[in-house]
Amino acid sequence: MEHSTSKIRIGALISGGGTNLQAILDSCTQNKIDATMTFTGSDNKNAKGLKRAKKANVPIFIVDYADIINSFKTTSKKFDLPSDFNLEKIKAKQTLFPKNTAADKIDFFLKTRSIAEKQLLDHILPHNIDLLVLAGFMRTMTPYFIDKFTNSPLNPKIMNIHPALLPSFPGTDGYGDTFRYGCKIGGCTVHFIDYGEDTGPILGQKAFTIEDNDTLDDIKKKGLELEWQLFPECIQNYAESRLK
């Protein structure tokens, strides 16, 4: 495929091993996608994927969600809420929680996440990126972050990889849920994020057959191999303005 000479600027957030990050980095260096990786951030200082970014000479940063959440539990004064944080407006937009969820649980989640997300934004916005990819980032984004980063819900530019064929099996354990349900087909999905959990517009999917003797590890292996193909493909489609 003949690619454009101009490249989009992308950034990545990860939480673990960073195999999807590696697939994207390799695709960038091999000119399979018209993109430049400008940074890699993580909520986990021990994420092995950070080493992958360092090896590729990509700047890294860490926002320790766990420390922020634990500190907020003991004293909310240690971390001030962002000055532009409006709890009621953000609660009205989010669709992360069922309607019967206790108000204090929702408030705690949105407050602590906004503190962490403000720190993310402080790192991310100066890079002036075109697209943010969540390459195994295990934290749900709130409307606070989404609105500050995208400026408009009509301008989605946060892309996520999910280990299941959405809309089936949203959440953190897509392959496990697929396996336990007894599905004969598994797969992965790339989608834009919105105010819900894995509910944003689907950009691409790949599927695989689950054999009777497949273990959960077999399913994960099959899925990951497809993820490494699908994510760069969707990023390239974005770079070519082919996603509507």
Cβ neighbours around 128 below 10 Å, total: 9
Instruction: Identify the sign of the CA torsion 66, 67, 68, 72.
Output: positive
- Cβ–Cβ under 8 Å, residues 130 and 157: yes
Q: Which of 3, 123, 127, 162 is catalytic?
A: 162
Length of the chain in terms of residues written? 244
Using alpha carbons only, what angle is made at residue 158 by residues 185 and 24, rounded to the nearest 5 degrees?
70
- Cβ–Cβ under 8 Å, residues 107 and 96: no
Identify which of 203, 204, 207 has the alpha carbon closest to the alpha carbon of residue 222.
207
Identify which of 56, 38, 53, 42 has the alpha carbon closest to the alpha carbon of residue 127.
38
- Residue 139 DSSP code: S
**Strands laid side by side in the 8-14 sheet:** 60-62, 35-42, 8-14, 131-134, 158-162, 185-192, 202-209
Collapsed DSSP state (helix, strand, coil) of residue 205 = strand
- Cβ–Cβ under 8 Å, residues 219 and 175: yes
- 162 in active site: yes
Active site residues: 162
